[in-house]
Structure 1
Amino acid sequence: MSPRTWASGIRRTLTAANRRRQAVVGGWRDGIAERTGRVRTVLRPVTDTVTEAGWVVGVLAVALLVAGPLLHWPELLVAGLFLALLLLIAVAFVVGRQPLAARLDLARDRVIVGERANGYLTLTNPSSRRSRPLVVEFPVGAGRAAFELPALAPGAVHEELFAIPTEHRAVLDVGPVTAVRADPLGLLRREAHLSQMDTLYVHPKTLRVEGSAAGLVRDLEGRTVPKVSDNDVSFHALRGYVAGDDRRHIHWKSSAKTGTLMVRQFEETRRSHLLTMVSSRLEDYASDDEFEMAISVAGSLGTQALADGQQLSAVASHASLPSAGAQRFLDGLSGLTYDWKAKHLVDVARYLSLDELAASVIVLCVGSGVSITELRRARQYLPVDTRVIAMRCLVGQEPSVRWLGDLAVSTVGRLEELGVAVRRVSA
């Protein structure tokens, strides 16, 4: 074994171990949050108002007030009283109501990764008294935007234009707009919501896959399946007439030759139906870039199928995704994240619904963490008459296609190479 191969194997092992560690830690964190949810809800009015500095001052005040008399140390008692006085003064800064009204408007509620997204914030003082200067904040996804609002006269209006970062695919909750009242020392902080929350969908990058409908799904008029039916469009054979058969299907020429009534039989046809399966299991990807590419591949194939008039179904490792239209489909992909309890690809294939199993083509979008053996096992649980294609998203790799029986395994190194991959597997 060459040193380069040995080093590459070590890197893959360390990456896989790190991803497993992240999955375990994430599962523990979610479990703790679920168990302590009720307690945190009860204590929220206090925990949302008292800052970290306030808790430190409060604990010190109690400790000094207790330790002073016990140790017969008057200075400690004075210090405790001083800290308690600071907390009482801080309360005076946060009590009362703030007479403000806010309106938050997004220029667009759906953008593609990297596109510009702007919003407008309008603040009004509808009261008959002048408002105090304060800080206005509102969440934008995991971050927060803050503005210094000057004092507003009665009926005055203040406007702010802001930009929303869209470097990453996400579903961003914008708002609600919050008026923040706090004391100068930052011991207490009281928030008042002034508007409703809005949502911005940052869709994944997709591209038009020319010829995908003709290449992946050749059955635009319906593909026959090995199931005989008495009423369809694909003729199969003739059989003797049985009471109750539709007389419209009697074949009169054959009946005249044989002297008995003969009726047509048909093979059932299946409408063009694409199913995209995206693994949301952390260990199935060596990096976040692989996960993003898998989502973009699924999004590109799915939107193209809908544009071509095909039926679409979409699933992730932990749940089904909306697929009634291109917009809803991309909205679902925008919010797709790793799931700490996600099933293995084999288990996802095993527990697909009957409607999902009716697909004529199934595309598995996975990363480098899914082995060829696991892909083969997943194929065993999918219908034999369904075309199955595995899209392995390996960032920077050269595109290639490998056939494992009736399973096509395509490697995609860049999203722009998806069209080449589709043409290769459909050749």
Structure 2
Amino acid sequence: MAEIMLAVMPFAGHVAPLAAVASAFIDAGHGVRVYTGRAYAERFAATGAEVVRWSRAPDFDEHDLPATFPALRGRKGARQALANVEHVFIRTAAAQGDDLSAAYRARAWDVIVADGLSLGARIASEHTTTPWVTVSIVPLTIPTPELPPPGFGLPPARRPLGHARDRLLHAALRLGTRGLRRAYDEQRAAAGLAPSSIPFEVVFSSPDLVCASGIPELDWPRRSWPVPVEYVGALAPTGHGDTAPPEWWADLPEDRPIVLVTQGTLNVDPDDLIRPTLAALGRQPVSIVATTGRADAPGLPFPAPPNAYVAGLVDYAALLPRIDAMVTNGGWGGVLAALSHGVPLIVAGGDLDKPEIAGRVAWSGAGVDLRTGTPRAGAVLAAWRRVSADPRYRERAEALGRALRQHDGPREVVSRTVDLLDRRRAEGRR
């Protein structure tokens, strides 16, 4: 049996899949510690893991990031995405590494298994010379030359003009991320590490093993990866299984199609997606289930139409088998959960990884990309009509669902990690 350190950024979207991974390691008999923020300490303790809380690293409230990271105040779109990556994920890396190294000195682990945005895991792995496994809870965004750079949601180019566009975008991305590279170099220096020759594009990815949530059918085709990648399907249970049914659950009609609209759990302004969806579908022959993404804020600040049912969170495992379509901000966990049930998607991907997810869903044929995080009601209505009228969207979603259901993501992370350790031990005996 192995000693596992699991490093998890304290965001709801990161916690659910990594809690499932923690449980899978424990079920297999391994010792598990989890390094995460105070907001989710009890969640991981409930799995049976020992929790190591952020100490030197600045713990934060995911619903009020500017309170801890003032540079994020007033930003949206691309500026928000870059600032989030720099201040939340990169500039906390040295302090995360300090916390993890202290935990290693207290009791050594065999391997550190970290969510794909936990850069402190790389620093801790270098300090402790222990192997590191990345668990990517969002679509992989490792650039490769034959594809457009990640983040734009662009499909592969097929003509010379498209390839020229991609070269320009790669150059622009390198220019636009110079500040992130400087921040990473500064964090390495603060951690007492020498400058790295590793390309910045892969610093978040383990050179030992990357377990990627999802399936190849939801990724752009490419010849190879610069690091070892294994797809493991969906990681989390299909959403909020410990959530009590809302009061209206028994009243949800059985004789009308149900459309779910979810605002996600990070940027949760209901004006962005819930309001236009209610305006679009309020007079249509459907029931609308709207989730605000906040268990402590289950209502809306504006009137809802009579055919709408509103909650903070719902149990996806109970709801998804009943719905006909899902309007989503593009959170990867929710997208995989919906597709696992063969549900076609309408994706409003506004920022961070969401445009990339929206582009992949559209490319896969399982849904419509609205190309904005703040769509107009008319655009939502037109997309819903397309998805409802064309059976190919559901057929494609069902095909992807069959591929996803062939995986057991958490157990596959465990088996891949154990295989890595076995290989390392065998190499050490030679």
TM-score (norm 2): 0.25
Q: Which has the higher contact order (CA 8 A, sep 6+)?
A: 2
Greater percentage in helix: 2
Greater percentage in strand: 1
The structure having more radius of gyration, on CA atoms, is 1
